[in-house]
Structure 1
Amino acid sequence: MQLDALDRQILAQLQVDGRMSNQELSERIGLSPSPCLRRLRQLEAGGVIQRYVALVDPETVGLGVTAFVRVRLDQQDDRHLAVFEAAVAEIPEVMECYLMTGEADYQLRVLVGSLGEFEDFLRHRLTRIAGVAQVTSSFALRPVVYKTALPARDQSGSAAPAS
């Protein structure tokens, strides 16, 4: 789907406040409500906007410990990768999982309430997944940059200057 400047403005505004009304959105981007809604529906239908969510502060719900976990598998064939990926997708504490290059096969971002909960996650869940050969963990002291909004891009694909 080819995005123009108005589409990018819609996306930028919704990433700041996904609950704004179509009327407010149309006013912010300088487009009347009907064409604004039509563009929004096209972005949704085209899969550019996948879903709407609420961002919850992890600490306020008792998930104040963030761990970054690097996992190496004993074999990297398609079957072992699929088994690992299916297993970690079912673990609620795993917030993100990436297939990596370099030393580790995967990197996970894990949220738990305490070091004891992390130990339980590690010993009773992660290391019991077939094929896990090595696990290395690091704990976040505090977030320095945490963004949910994707960077705005111009038509060439370059990052647009911040406004």
Structure 2
Amino acid sequence: MVDLDKIDRQLLRLLQDDGRLSNAELSEKVHISQATCHRRVNRLFESGLIRSVHAQIAPKAVNLGTLVIVGVVLDRSTPQSFADFEQAITQLPMILDCQLVAGEFDYLLRVRVKDIEDFNDLHAKQLIALPAVRQIRTFFVMKEVIDSALLQF
């Protein structure tokens, strides 16, 4: 773990807010030299504190306007069934997020599709065919209050 000082925290906040800031702009905003700023930002990347910088694309603009939350229950709770499911789910580019959870479901997925018909096709052909899947519960999102995930298209 990297020991973060006030300047590191400022850099992280600024880059999180706008990943397009140039090194010159960053250094000016935190009142350090460009060389020092460059070294610090590189250290934040190398340490894993900054995983990536990306553009957040408007889903409707790329015909992916429907967000679906999917609860998945596996038919058995073994390390192998979890591993098989996790390996298979990573092959589906429309899956934004997949989390192993405690509670009613084994996994929660966030899925981005064109429309309900597109999801129905995904469900019938791919989701229910995933390894060890016993049950799938679907929740269509009516309104996105917070949206910060990357799109795969």
**TM-score calculated relative to the size of structure 2:** 0.93
- Tell me which residue corresponds to 2:15: 14
Of 103-112 and 50-59, the range deviating more from structure 2? 50-59
Shift in CA distance, 142/110, structure 1 to aligned 2, threshold 3 Å: same
Q: Determine the structure 2 residue equivalent to 1:96.
A: 97
Partner of 1:156: none
Q: Is the deviation greater in 124-133 or in 48-57?
A: 48-57
Q: Point out where structure 1 has 5 or more consecutive residues left out of the alignment.
A: 149-163
Where does structure 1 differ by over 3 angstroms across 4 or more consecutive aligned residues? none
Distance 2:63 2:109 in 1: 19
Structure 2: tracts of 5 or more residues without a match: none
Distance in 2 of aligned mates of 1:85 and 1:132 = 11
Any idea what the Cα deviations from partners look like across 1:48-104, whole Å, max 9, x if unmatched?
Answer: 112221111111100000000000000111100011001111101100000000000
Following TM superposition, by how much is the alpha carbon of 1:8 offset from its aligned partner in structure 2, in angstroms? 1.0
2:69 and 2:147 map into 1 onto residues whose CA distance is 14
1:113 match: 114
Give the counterpart letter for 2:4 in structure 1. L
Q: CA deviation at 1:23?
A: 0.5
Question: Which residue pairs with 1:43 in the alignment?
Answer: 44
Partner SS state of residue 7, structure 1: helix
> What SS does the corresponding residue of 2:145 show, helix, strand or coil?
coil
Distance in structure 1 (CA, Å) of the matches to 2:113 and 2:75:
26
* CA distance in 2 between partners of 1:125 and 1:49 (Å): 33
Between Structure 1 and Structure 2, how many residues are aligned?
Answer: 148
How many Å separate the matches in 1 of 2:74 and 2:30? 48
Contact 2:88 2:131 in 1 (8 A): no
1:71 aligned residue: 72
